Chain A
Amino acid sequence: MSLLRRLTGRFPSVVIARRNVSRARTRSLLAAAAIMIGVVAIAGIGAGGAAFKQSQLDRIQEQGATNVYVSPGFDKEDRHFDRTDLMRIDETVGGAGIVATESRSMEYRRRSNRERGVSVTYLDDPRRLYDVAAGEIPKNWRRSAVVSREFAADNDLEPGDRIVLAPETDEDETGEFRAYRVTAVLAETQAFGVDQVYLPIEATGDRQYGQVRITTQSVEEAEAAATALREEFNGRKDTLIVFELTSLVRLFTSIVNGINLFLAGLGSLSLLVAGVSIANTMLMSVTKRREEIGVLRAVGYSKVDILRILLVEAALLGAIGAGIGIALALLVVLAANAIFLGSPFAFTSGSLLYLVGAVVFGIGTSLVAGAYPAWRAANERPVEALRG
């Protein structure tokens, strides 16, 4: 006896159900198609949305959700931080590392004598924020320049080259040009606010800072630091503008989750319709097979047996629909993963959950929808069914 037969002999209800499903092929396929649509809707929307959310979260995270950015508030008269301000900020945030920077625009003169504007960040030590890719920043960094990888590539620079920069003055005129030796090129980073050129803070001449970045170890610490800063400085006046990505992440997550759930909910509505379709199909099927079921009962199938066979049949319809649906949804999710996360196989746990959930939901709906027809058929007395 073949293995297949031995296997099907083990699960006779599945065999019987499969035959019945293929008997009214069109009707079965339509019912399965309804389930399929629901599964595609839930899984596609849910998992696609999860991929989108993950991509956005990744981006925010890369840009430093553990950082807090502080700049002078509207009520701060001089619009700059000085050393005293920095010390107060440092004290308020406790152990977290702070990096003060000043951003300015400068004119960059290329060899061809053409000029263009660049944005320059003055700070104490770039290594506290970024990795160095080439060259070296001296311990006592006072004169040379550090450039971003992009800037180095655009202008064909490497450590040892010279760049010529002049500060932009108020009246759209440029100040005196000065040459800086490039001592290092930074590694590429996704982080937000990477400037083109970095100069030592001493080069500003006035030691004033436009922005302070507070680097913490976790999102929670970042939030705590932000809260502490607001309490300390923004009592009555807005001395500081405190900006942390964490609150943004939280807001974003809750918005996307909400939208996703809402859309997946709409998808579930289509499953509801699918359930009605399955119930209808099963009702028609058991009505048409009334005598046949009567014979089954007459030859010794119990009510439970009939119930089981019909539920397996409903589940089979659901499984067919869910199977095709999940295959289609998988394509959608692969595409979404590729678009949002860079790789088609970058499944997030959220999207897997939606995929599995959609299948479970699809088959579950079929079972629930099949329950009433199955129950009705199982409880029909065989004498009545066979009276013709």
Chain B
Amino acid sequence: MTPDPDEDGFDAGTLGETIATDPIIRGTDVVKEYETGGQIVRALKGVDFSIAPADFVAVVGPSGSGKSTLLNLLGLLDVATSGEVRLRGEDVSTFTDREQTRKRKETIGFVFQSFYLIPTLTALENVEMPRMLDRTPTKTRERATQLLERVGLGDRLDHYPDELSGGQKQRVAIARSLINDPDILLADEPTGNLDRDTGDQILELFDELRSDENVAVVTVTHDDYVAEAADRVVTLIDGRIRDTESRRANFEEGPDP
């Protein structure tokens, strides 16, 4: 095994900096194939990626280019067919289903295009939902209330999803994704069902989260204004990364040199 440059910290003098840019998740030559009806579809044809804390990465590309597939791999919902995905240095392909679920809970927050709130639960309960089984109802409630206030829904705690607007639902969903203090927020077209103004509010929220809590945001999007707001835009075409555009100097593409 080759030593992992991210873990040994041989450059002690720049330790603080190293931690700041230490990737949370990194993929090398990742291939993902699906088998349907005897036919093999290569959704990802060898991509490299690296997400560091407070990154804001937008994944763009035509439909069917593998954006959601990539997000699923980042979110530990799926494992790569070949190549390597490491979560804080650990090879995710060695995880059992239980470990995978636990790591997902600890590190990842999901935001979906169609929100996927649970209609039988109030806004507050939806936010609490990922921690409902933890049997820490008091703490969870405090945190959930705090998060809903933070996304501007402090006055909607007891509303059910069907009593909320699309933007409000998405903000509830974002609050939900944050309840376990994730390191990465994965969003699959979070603004896809929202108008521009509402979408802008969501983007502002992302910015706040990054600066306040060091949360990395990876979002798949078809909206140009979302891509423009990102630090880095990854363009996927037919399962390959065509183009990575860095907008800010402090975020570098790919693994450390």
Contact = CB atoms under 8 A, between A and B. Distances in A.
Given A299-B130, A300-B106, 6 more contacts: A10-B137, A298-B104, A299-B109, A299-B110, A300-B104, A386-B77
A383 interface: yes
A305 B135 CA distance: 13
Interface in A1-49: 1, 5-6, 8-10, 12-13, 15-16, 19-20, 22-23
A297 B116 contact: no
Interface in A183-227: none
Contacts of B130: 299-301
9 contacts: A8-B137, A19-B120, A22-B120, A298-B75, A300-B101, A300-B105, A300-B106, A300-B130, A300-B180
B121 A19 contact: yes
* Tier of interface size on chain A: 20 to 34
Nearest to A289: B118
Contacts of B109: 299
Contacts of A12: 132-133, 135
Nearest to A298: B110
Interface string B126-140: 000110110111100
A88 B141 CA distance: 90
A303 interface: yes
The 6 residue pairs across chains A and B that have the minimum distance between CB atoms: A300-B105, A9-B137, A19-B120, A299-B130, A12-B132, A295-B116
Given A1-B141, A301-B101, A302-B98, A388 B78 contact: no
A273 interface: no
Given A19-B121, A292-B118, A299-B130, A1 B110 contact: no
Interface in A300-326: 300-303, 305
A388 B116 CA distance: 11
Contacts of B177: 299
Contacts of A22: 120
Interface of B: 68, 72, 75, 77-78, 97-98, 101-102, 104-106, 109-110, 112, 114, 116, 118-121, 129-130, 132-133, 135-138, 141, 176-177, 180
Contact of B101 (A8, A19, A297): A297
Contacts of B101: 297, 300-303
Interface string A269-312: 00000000000000000000001101111111111010000000
A207 B93 CA distance: 104
A300 B121 CA distance: 18
A61 B73 CA distance: 77
Contacts of B135: 9-10, 12
A303 B98 CA distance: 8
Contacts of B120: 19-20, 22-23
B72 A383 contact: yes
Residue from B104, B114, B180 whose CB has the most chain A CB atoms within 10 Å? B104
A167 interface: no
B138 A1 contact: yes
A301 B176 CA distance: 14
B131 to A, nearest CB: 8
B102 A300 contact: yes
Q: Which of A8, A291, A294, A300 has the most CB of B within 10 A?
A: A300
Contacts of A303: 97, 101
Nearest to A299: B130
Contacts of A20: 120
A383 B132 CA distance: 22
A310 B136 CA distance: 22
A25 to B, nearest CB: 11
A383 B77 contact: yes
A339 B114 CA distance: 62
Nearest to B68: A387
A6 B138 CA distance: 8
A9 B72 CA distance: 31
B116 A291 contact: yes
B119 A23 contact: yes
